[in-house]
Structure 1
Amino acid sequence: MPEPLTPHTFVAKWQDVTLKETAAVQEHFLDLCALIDHPTPAQDDPHGTRFTFEAGAAKLDGQQGWADVWKRGFFAWEYKGKHANLDKAYQQLLQYRESLQNPPLLVVCDIERIVVHTNFTNTIKQTYTLTLDDLLTPQGLERLKAIFRDPDSFKATQTTEQVTKAAAETFALLADHLRRQGHAPDRVAHFLIRLLFCLFAEDIDLLPKGRFTDMVATGRHDPQGFAEMLAALLRAMAKGGYFGAERIRHFNGGLFDDASILELDYTGLGILHGIAHLDWGSIEPSILGTLFERSLDPGKRAQLGAHYTSKDDILL
């Protein structure tokens, strides 16, 4: 075991470090092991077959890569320098994960933050962040220990299918509400598909992260204001350009060829606000697409309830 290290000693050391990534990575990880009284990679696995630094991993395109640390059945870990873009580190791990036997946790770290992304099969993805200050608390230390000893404690209780079903049913409520206001079913469908796309796009970084959700929260009590913001966003998506201070990419395919919208009232915005905070990047589009289509057809509404079973059943 490494020599024990107190939380205050660890934080005092690493909060002032300005070393480059390559100079800091392994020492930082070894200090984490000391902090939670866990064997280092070399102590736990002298041959480097299941817990090691610089774990070789083939990328999805077939090229060779290396994860900074890997512990089989627990995590793959990628470092970046202080204040770096950890989303890029996460994207690297997504490239490596299959070659590393799909560890349940994908961890990225910039010395000051440890961000844990869950990678369990058929559960919604969750993200947890530990800061240096968190490591001074008993709860933070327990969460850090769980990365090394109990990855299942990070597992979400709801499956992807359960969350997808709930999202589709909520969209069905919004579809019903718009039809009761006299809007034609085809216009309702086109409008809701646009909203659905925006929710997905912000969670997979096609739109600025959280931008659409923030817009819904801001406009929830101002229907006219939300309508104006949404029309402006759709115009930017149709051609590419700025939406406020943020540059929006061009989305082709015809979905945003015009900026026409259906104005949502307070009730409609309340329904949309209730599902905007879901992790849409974890919801299965193939399942949601089928459920969404059924939600727009009142004659098939019963299939949203008792007849929902699994992905295979839905896609028949």
Structure 2
Amino acid sequence: AAGDLVAKIYNELSKAYSLHADLNDERIQKSLNMLIVRLVFLLYTDDTGILGSNDIFQHFLERREAQDIRQGLIELFRVLNTPEDDRDEFLSEEFKQFKYVNGGMFSDESVVIPQFTDELQRLIVEDAGRGFNWSSISPTIFGAVFESTLNPETRREGGMHYTSVENIHKVIDPLFLNDLNKEFEKIRDISVV
């Protein structure tokens, strides 16, 4: 279901970009992919409360008309990339309530954001927001979901390939995790005097 929602958002965003840009343009394609990642991340954090109160992003989108979402997201992404102590002291309460996101997800300000349509807003607010609980999705699933939004050439160039938890364990267990687990068991079995 999450994959279907991401695909629908991807298709609506593609339509929005195509109104003013060439979808074959590498900059537009990278922007589309990054915007999808950012939006899905914010939907997930909405349902988990990671960035503040639940539905903080949902309410942010609901307060805007479709034509105002683009500018709102540009400002929101800038705020999310700024530690709270470094933010403008006159920043509105609406933006102050969002916590800082480290790791660089929102650091690239060259990401092009298209003008939102009423349908795109409805899809994100109603179907992906109110209509779906992202907190039940394992974060490991996001790798596969995000990879599916990238075209094969972009994935290949960036070395972006989802690796399942099972395959990761095939590598890390014999390298160090098995020994670490044995050591932990020995420590746990030591009786405390």
TM-score by length of 1: 0.38
Counterpart residue identity of residue 179, structure 1:
S
Asked if 1:223 corresponds to 2:66, the answer is: yes
Distance 1:213 1:247, change over 3 A: closer
Counterpart of 2:12 in 1: which secondary structure? helix
Contact 1:172 1:292 in 2 (8 A): no
Percent of counterpart pairs with the same letter?
Answer: 23
Residues of 2 paired with 1:235 and 1:295: CA distance?
A: 24
Determine the structure 1 residue equivalent to 2:48.
204
Aligned length: 134
**Residue in 2 aligned with 1:292?**
146
Cα separation, 2, equivalents of 1:187 and 1:169 = 20
Amino acid in the other structure paired with 1:175? Y
Mark the runs of 5 or more structure 2 residues left unpaired by the alignment: 154-164, 167-193
Equivalent-residue separation in structure 1 for 2:47 and 2:12 (angstroms): 26
C-alpha spacing 1:177/1:254, structure 2 compared with 1 (3 Å): same
- Supply the distance in 1 between the matched residues of 2:124 and 2:40 (Cα, whole angstroms): 10
Does residue 129 of structure 2 align to residue 276 of structure 1? yes
Amino acid at match of 2:2: A
RMSD: 2.6
SS of equivalent to 2:147:
helix
Question: Which residue of the partner structure matches residue 101 of structure 2?
Answer: 251
C-alpha distance in structure 2 between counterparts of 1:290 and 1:197, whole Å: 14
What are the equivalent positions in structure 2 for 1:1-316 lying under 5 Å apart?
166-180=1-15, 181=18, 182-183=22-23, 184-208=28-52, 209-219=54-64, 222-241=65-84, 244-245=92-93, 246-259=96-109, 260=111, 261-273=113-125, 274-277=127-130, 278-297=132-151
Q: Which has the higher helix share?
A: 2
Q: Is the 8 A contact 2:66 2:121 kept in 1?
A: yes
Deviates more, 1:201-210 or 1:290-299: 290-299
Displacement of 1:298 after TM fit? Answer: 8.4
The Cα of 1:247 is off from its aligned counterpart by: 3.6
- Given that 2:46 and 2:56 are in contact with CA atoms closer than 8 Å, whether structure 1 keeps it comes out as yes
Shift of 1:287: 2.0
* Greater per-residue strand proportion: 1
The structure-2 alpha-carbon separation of the partners of 1:203 and 1:240, relative to structure 1 and needing over 3 Å to count, comes to farther
Distance 1:167 1:193 in 2: 13
Q: 1:296 to 1:175 in 2, by over 3 A?
A: farther
State the SS of the aligned residue for 2:50: coil
Match of 1:101 in 2: none
**1:298, 1:257 → 2: CA distance?**
24
How far has the Cα of 1:174 moved from its partner?
Answer: 1.9
Runs of 4+ in 1 over 6 A off after TM superposition: none
Alpha-carbon distance change, 267 to 167 in structure 1, aligned in 2, over 3 angstroms: same
Residue 172 of structure 1 contacts residue 296 of structure 1 at CA under 8 Å; is this kept in 2? no
Larger Rg: 1
Partner Cα separation in structure 2 for residue 279 and residue 244 of structure 1: 28
Shift of 1:297: 3.6
